[in-house]
Amino acid sequence: MGGKKLTCFECGQINRVPYDKLGSDPQCGTCGVGLMSGKAVDVNLATFEKAARTDDIPLVVDFWAPWCGPCRQVAPQYQSAAKDFRESVRLVKLNTEAYPNAGRKYGIRGIPTMAVFTNGKERARHSGVLPKAAIVKWIKASV
């Protein structure tokens, strides 16, 4: 059976989405949430790790914290960039204040830090604030 494996960011269920349905707003078979929403979604550490490990679509994570001024500055740029990747890449946000183990486990030394994961491995990383155009360019070069 063909298709791409995608983890639902809401319930954590792994879904297999046919290739021709990726651009048609596929929904989770368990909870009905959109899987390719074109939005940067806040996720918990367990869901992020499951998606990074199992998904067939590249995953970009923004490690951030609510008290971080630069993180708040980049947030709308990152959210806007997610729309450009609606069919090919999924973007998530991971709050390092809520999940301090994530910062240690992934060697995050400063926030905001974005990282690209494909096939269970980190492929690229960027720390600091970028405007939307630079985020889009960096993601395209990294996936």
Q: Tell me if 112 is assigned to some domain.
A: yes
Other CB atoms within 10 Å distance of the CB of residue 115: 21
- The reported pTM is 0.94
Interval 87-96: pLDDT, tens = 899 999 999 9
Domain that holds residue 85: 38-142
Task: For the chain, report the end-to-end CA distance as a whole number of angstroms.
Answer: 25
Q: Tell me if 104 is assigned to some domain.
A: yes
Interval 24-78: pLDDT, tens = 889 999 999 999 989 999 999 999 999 999 999 999 999 999 999 999 999 999 9
Question: Which residue in the list 8, 11, 28, 71 is annotated as catalytic?
Answer: 71
**Mean pLDDT, the chain, as a whole number?**
95
Q: Tell me if 11 is assigned to some domain.
A: no
- Specify whether 11 is catalytic: no
- Specify whether 68 is catalytic: yes
Q: Tell me if 89 is assigned to some domain.
A: yes
pLDDT at 110 over 70: yes
Q: How confident is the model at residue 1 (pLDDT cuts 50, 70, 90)?
A: low
Question: Which residue in the list 8, 11, 31, 68 is annotated as catalytic?
Answer: 68
Q: Tell me if 25 is assigned to some domain.
A: no
The C-alpha atoms of residue 44 and residue 28 are separated, in whole angstroms, by: 17
100: domain CATH number is 3.40.30.10
